[in-house]
A and B are shown apart, each in its own frame.
Chain A
Amino acid sequence: MNEARALAPADTREQIVSAIFRTSQAICNETVTYTNQAKQYETEKLDRIFTSKLWGFPIMLAMLAVVIYITIAGANIPSGMLADFFGWLEGYLTLFFQALHAPDWLHGLLVLGLYRGTAWVVSVMLPPMAIFFPIFALLENYGYLPRVAFNMDRLFKKAGAHGKQSLTMAMGFGCNAAAILSTRIIESPRERMLAILTNSFVPCNGRWPTLILLSSLFMAAGYTGGWKTLVTASVVVAMVLFGIVVTLTVSWVLSKTALRGIPTHYTLELPPYRRPKIWDTIIRATLDKSIYVLKRAIVVAAPAGVLTWILGNIHIGDTTVLAYIADWLDPFARALGLDGYILMAFILGLPANEIVLPILLMGYLSTGSLTEVDGLHSLKQIFVDHGWTWLTALNMMLFSLLHYPCGTTLVNIYKETKSKKWTFVAFALPTSIAIAVTFFTAQLAKWFGFV
């Protein structure tokens, strides 16, 4: 080996690469002929629009808004239908348990805890995922997503990070845990760490439903029809934008402090635009992504549903264990514009973000007077009965956007960094930001008397 090093000229790699390039070029000169020069420039023409300094960002935002609009507008009806179906089935399940003369606690545990929690996850999460993921996959196959990375690249470079971080960030919109693995495309350890630490600031699919649902229940209250969906979509887009701003700010601060260094140069390849096989893409995206994510949500939500129900039904004195915990968390949570139950839901939701809302709901249900959930509308009533305002919803959305990554993501971060210290930073950094931002928002709103 050393002998080889001694033999080798200093610029060996360059010589090797250029020899290969020359050979490719020579082969192509022999075998490839062009009959239509104009067609070669179609991609360049489209790129001049999609990656233009002036139009690149507005087009990106508009695309994101359209995708979210379609998701929200399209998900409502199937969500309601699924909720109705599960509600109908629950009636029969209850009858079945009565026929068996099953004890109340068994019915409570299996039907009110396990079944209702799981049914909730399915009816609220499946429709948006079944719309959102295929549209994203279509944009990806068409070749638009690499252009997004190209546009974002400039911003990331300015923040002292690697341009490829925009790709790993885009991956995070699907799943932060998977995105952590994708940071391997970044060779420099410093820049890779930046990408890992900031990835959870973009909402993953476990958090999209929370953002979309709370936004549509509380933010667009004064509007109806198409306007309602539009306002809901804008609020969600604003959340995403805020997450990106936080990503860039944190990257910038870290690259000036703990992770100092100069950004690496690299070439980002833009593939040609291609018309995707529409049905194939939709079917694959549904099979691969939606079903996978749903399976994961159910596997984690079902036990959490049982646990929440148990905690909500074991009494110490005349309060439930759940209420004890919630009461204990309440003062701190109030300062953040949340309440004890919300904070508890986030804590119990560590294994997967998908289960935060179901846990919260079950927490409220096991203490509140309402026992039936028959659709999205009675949902708002449950929240309002527990003292929610638009500020509670906003803070919960902010907390959801900014808080610690889920258990799976943290495990992946540990596997990738092999460092307990950085894994802890990946947990503590977003959490402190989430606490600071929600605290600030809550206090500010109170100060101005908005609520």
Chain B
Amino acid sequence: MSTNEYTIALAGNPNTGKSTLFNVLTGLRQYTGNWPGKTVVHAEGFFTYNNNRYKMIDLPGTYSLYSNSADEEVARDFIIFEKPDVTIVVLDATALERNLNLALQVLEMTSSVIVCVNLMDEAKKKGIRIDTEKLAATLGVPVVPISARNKEGIDTLLKTIDSMVRGKIKTNPIAVRYSPEIEQCIEKLIPRVKEVIGDAYPARWVALRLLDGDMSLLQALQQQPLPSVKEVSIYACHDTAKSV
């Protein structure tokens, strides 16, 4: 019997019950540490399900994944560079609209996403009804309604994780449509981005970040030990030289 180990990243806004879900899944088999090179504290935990072993990383709670703060950078870098097998995005059912912003950003970065709509009990009490099937169809990834503190929906979540790592789920994540102006720029940049980084990172997303002028991402890309990525720096320097 073979056991595989998979990595799950847990993302979400602050106060969505992310840590509660983390505790429910990993119990007391967890420890805290620091990200290499950074002092942002993170929690790591383990659990086993259906003969697979999972390492779960509780990313810092953030509202977005731009590089506004060390927390956001850490969360973003983990998803993009560590390439977790599954990224779970925890959403607060009572504030879905606000929470969806983060989910949409994660979906631009990876397709192995499970969206967890937490606090379903709370939403029900407040008279909020969420059509999770329709939500799943729109987002193009599995959506699991849960109530982490009452341990409701956890079984379905575990089954979904299991199916995803076994490759039984085909996802088709929604892509946010930007203004025609930006879409044009993205179109122009994508072939050149692919030229440099190949398929190592989602080209559309990298192009978007470049348009946004995200210097810290460029630095992070350069630090990656991929030979192809080394060229980005040359490419960038070359361009700088040209523009002077």
Contacts and interface: CB of A to CB of B under 8 A. Distances in A.
Interface centre among B40, B126, B182, B240 (most CB of A within 10 A): B126
Interface in B17-40: 20, 23, 39-40
A12 interface: yes
Interface in B175-207: 176-179, 181-182, 185, 188-189, 192, 207
A187 B97 CA distance: 25
Interface in A396-418: 412, 415-416
Contacts of B235: 1
A7 B211 contact: yes
B211 A12 contact: yes
Interface residues of B, number: 62
A15 B176 CA distance: 12
A184 B70 contact: yes
A167 to B, nearest CB: 11
A277 B149 contact: yes
For the complex, would chain A's binding face be called helix, strand, loop or mixed by DSSP majority? helix
Contact of B240 (A2, A34, A42): A2
B70 A19 contact: no
Contacts of A187: 68-69
A331 interface: no
B237 to A, nearest CB: 9
Contacts of A42: 126
B129 A35 contact: yes
A39 interface: yes
Given A34-B127, A181-B39, A20 B104 contact: yes
Nearest to A272: B94
A31 interface: yes
A274 interface: yes
Contacts of A34: 127-129
B220 interface: no
Given A12-B211, A185-B71, A2 B236 contact: yes
A257 interface: no
A56 to B, nearest CB: 20
Given A15-B182, A416-B39, A30 B211 contact: no
B182 A1 contact: no
Nearest to A146: B15
B101 A24 contact: yes
A20 B66 CA distance: 13
A4 interface: yes
Given A2-B236, A185-B69, A31 B131 contact: yes
A15 B189 contact: no
B45 to A, nearest CB: 13
A7 B212 contact: no
A25 interface: yes
A386 interface: no
B227 interface: no
Interface residues of A, number: 49
B176 A1 contact: no
B208 interface: yes
Contacts of B139: 27
Contacts of B20: 277
A16 B183 CA distance: 10
B231 interface: no
A12 B181 CA distance: 10
B158 interface: no
Given A1-B236, A187-B69, A19 B127 contact: no
A377 interface: no
A1 B129 contact: no
Interface string A137-181: 000000100100000000000000000000000000000000001
Contacts of B226: none
Nearest to A18: B179
Nearest to B64: A17
B138 A415 contact: no
Interface string B52-74: 00000000000110101111000
Given A2-B239, A8-B185, A12-B212, A39 B14 contact: no
B76 to A, nearest CB: 14
Interface of B: 14-15, 20, 23, 39-41, 63-64, 66, 68-71, 94-98, 100-101, 104-105, 119, 122, 125-132, 134-135, 138-139, 149, 174, 176-179, 181-182, 185, 188-189, 192, 207-208, 210-213, 218, 235-236, 239-240, 242-243
Interchain residue pairs A-B with the least CB separation, the first 3:
A36-B127, A4-B210, A24-B100
6 contacts: A2-B240, A3-B192, A16-B178, A23-B174, A143-B15, A416-B39
Interface of A: 1-9, 12-13, 15-17, 19-21, 23-25, 27-28, 30-37, 39-40, 42, 143, 146, 181, 184-185, 187, 269, 271-272, 274, 277, 280, 284, 412, 415-416
Given A24-B97, A146-B15, 10 more contacts: A1-B240, A2-B240, A8-B182, A12-B211, A15-B178, A15-B182, A16-B212, A23-B176, A184-B71, A272-B95
